Amino acid sequence: MGAVNISEEVIAIIAGIAAVECYGLVGMASRKLKDGIYQILGKEDIKKGVEVSISGREVTLGLYIVVGYGVNIAEVAKNVIERVKYNVENQTGLVVKKINVNVQGVKLNT
């Protein structure tokens, strides 16, 4: 009857929105770190903090995040992985093979 093709951009947006809903995460960061300085991305640029690779029906994701000071980074990363995997698989029907979380910075909550 036909095929449904889901673009990498759509998957990146789904993953980015799911990630920023997690406790301890301040925001998504740009994949390109310049001179050790990160930039927190706004809602309209959230997909720029996600790297997507599709192979058949499997997806590999790279997330670039900024966490809040004082949180357990490993626990935040675990929560991000679980939420992103759940949302991407349920909304796209694809299988998430791997999620790499790259912490680009820590922000002091003021």
| Residues 18-67: tens digit of each pLDDT | 999 999 999 898 877 665 667 777 877 888 899 999 999 999 999 999 99
Residue 41 · residue 23 · CB < 8 Å:
no
pTM attached to this predicted model: 0.89
Asked if residue 3 has pLDDT above 90, the reply is no
Spatial separation of the C-alpha atoms in residues 32 and 64, rounded to whole Å = 9
Residue 41 · residue 30 · CB < 8 Å:
yes
What percent of the chain clears pLDDT 90, i.e. is strictly above it? 68
Average pLDDT over residues 80-109: 94
Residue 38 · residue 103 · CB < 8 Å:
no
Asked if residue 77 has pLDDT above 80, the reply is yes
52 DSSP β-pair partners? 61
